[in-house]
Amino acid sequence: MKEVIIGGVGKYAPSKIITNDQLSEIIETSDEWIYSRTGIKQRHVSIGEDTSYMASEAAKMALENANIRSIDIDLIVVATCTPDMYTPSTACIVQSIIGANNSVAFDISAACSGFIYGLDVAKSLMKSNGYNNALVIGAENLSKSVDWEDRSTCVLFGDGAGAVVLSKSDNVGLISSFCKSEGEKYKCITIEGNDVDSPFVENKVIKSSKLKMNGNEVFKFATSTIVNSINKVLNENNLNLDDIDYIIPHQANVRIIDYAAKKLKVSVDKFYMNIEEYGNTSAASIPIALSEMWKKKLIKKGNKIILVGFGAGLTYGATLINWAI
């Protein structure tokens, strides 16, 4: 068995929902502004669940779905930009919670592209190291990292997690993928962290632990990369959009997705969207969407799906999938 398929999917979203109208009670904003600029109506917000908890709940659902025991997992990759702690990795905490005692576990930091990066890394390791089963999880607790006084960012994000079980198979599941970074634009989205300070530092470097974003720059980057990434995956596999059943983009902004559909001359219905309910859940958005589509029986065996992500780093990437279950 040389190939890798997605054998199960799962998701978790906190039960607490905050609508745009509720947000307008704590900051100067409106449902009209948020919805017309982004397509967001509400977001799920943690009432104390941290990233590892949400990741573990999504992972348990994916394991159940795949009918695989946690002790049969060889690799856990958690994509997150809002880990529980700097160290240990959130993946190690997930390993402990779900009892996946036979696995190697680590995190990937590629923000909203993290799940795409995670799939690529996990597939490569499964092929090179002989791992049979892996969990790839995108999980975020962004509500602890946004600045609730900055209306230009706090209205955009939500919390949640999505997970897939990857398994070795004779069938092709993850057909092809690519990941890219444009590090020279790293200042566009930051969550800085600790000050640089010690008895040996002459000029203390003050850092912010809150998310900061140059929305306009990211918007320009996102509109071009989403189109280029989809075209790259299609060209590399000699396919065109008629061969693709669904595109699942990172859920950042409806306007970015509308732009991509127009540019690609394809119906926007080909793009799955749930940003209205969840907001931008960064690395979790694509696996949450996958899990939701699976539950709604929208995806069927043999479907060809493109997953496409973009985000802080700046990072981007896409994966072409043959749905094999």
Residues classed as catalytic: 112, 250, 280
Helix/strand/coil for 192: coil
Cβ proximity to ligand ACO: between 43 and 60 the closer is 43
Chain centroid to CA 142: how far? 12
CB 307 within 8 A of CB 319: yes
SS3 of 177, please? Answer: strand
Q: Pick from 56, 225, 253, 319 the residue near ligand ACO by CB under 6 A.
A: 253
Q: Is 207 in the site for ligand ACO (CB under 6 A)?
A: no
- Residue 250, Cβ density class (10 Å: 0-12 exposed, 13-18 middle, ≥19 buried): buried
**Contact stretch for ligand ACO (CB under 6 A) within 3-11, 72-80, 214-222, 290-298:** 214-222
Q: Which of 73, 98, 222, 289 binds ligand ACO (CB under 6 A)?
A: 222
Give me the amino acid identity at 293.
Answer: M
Q: Are 28 and 154 in contact (CB under 8 A)?
A: no
| Given 15, 194, 198, 216, the residue binding ligand ACO (CB under 6 A) | 216
Considering only residues 92, 98, 227, 252, which one is a binding residue for ligand ACO as defined by CB under 6 A? Answer: 252
Phi, psi angle pair for 101, to nearest 5°:
-70, -10
Tell me the closest approach of the beta carbon of residue 276 to ligand ACO, in angstroms: 14
Supply 305's token pair.
């799906």
The distance from CA 218 to its chain's CA centroid, rounded to whole angstroms, is: 16
With beta carbons less than 8 A apart as the criterion, state whether 147 and 210 touch: yes
Find the shortest distance in angstroms from Cβ 200 to ligand ACO: 33
Q: Site residues for ligand ACO, window 291-320 (CB under 6 A)? A: 311-312
DSSP for residue 280: B
**Cβ closest to ligand ACO, residue 73 vs residue 189:** 189
87 Cβ contact list (under 8 Å, min separation 6): none
Q: Which tokens sit at 283?
A: 């690395």
**Residue 151 interacts with ligand ACO (CB under 6 A)?**
yes
Single residue of 16, 17, 31, 37 touching ligand ACO by CB under 6 A:
37
Binding mask 44-83 for ligand ACO (x = CB under 6 A): -------------------------------------x--
CB of 100 to ligand ACO, least distance (A): 27
**Choice between 79 and 100, CB closer to ligand ACO:** 79
Asked if 155 is part of the footprint of ligand ACO (rule: CB under 6 A), the reply reads yes
Point out which span in 11-19, 41-49, 236-244, 248-256 binds ligand ACO (CB under 6 A): 248-256
Q: What CA–CA distance (Å, rounded) separates 134 from 168? A: 9
212 binds ligand ACO (CB under 6 A): no
Tokens of 30: 């409106």
Q: Any contact of residue 16 with ligand ACO (CB under 6 A)?
A: no
| Nearest CB to ligand ACO, comparing residues 34 and 299 | 34
Distance CA 103, CA 65 (A): 19
Q: Is 137 within 8 Å of 77 (Cβ atoms)?
A: yes
Q: Which range touches ligand ACO (CB under 6 A), out of 27-35, 54-62, 173-181, 289-297?
A: 27-35
Please count the CA atoms within 13 angstroms of the CA of 229 that sit on its side-chain side: 32
Q: Tell me which residues touch ligand ACO (CB under 6 A).
A: 29, 33-34, 37-38, 81, 111-112, 151-152, 155, 189, 215-216, 218-219, 222, 252-253, 256, 280, 282, 311-312
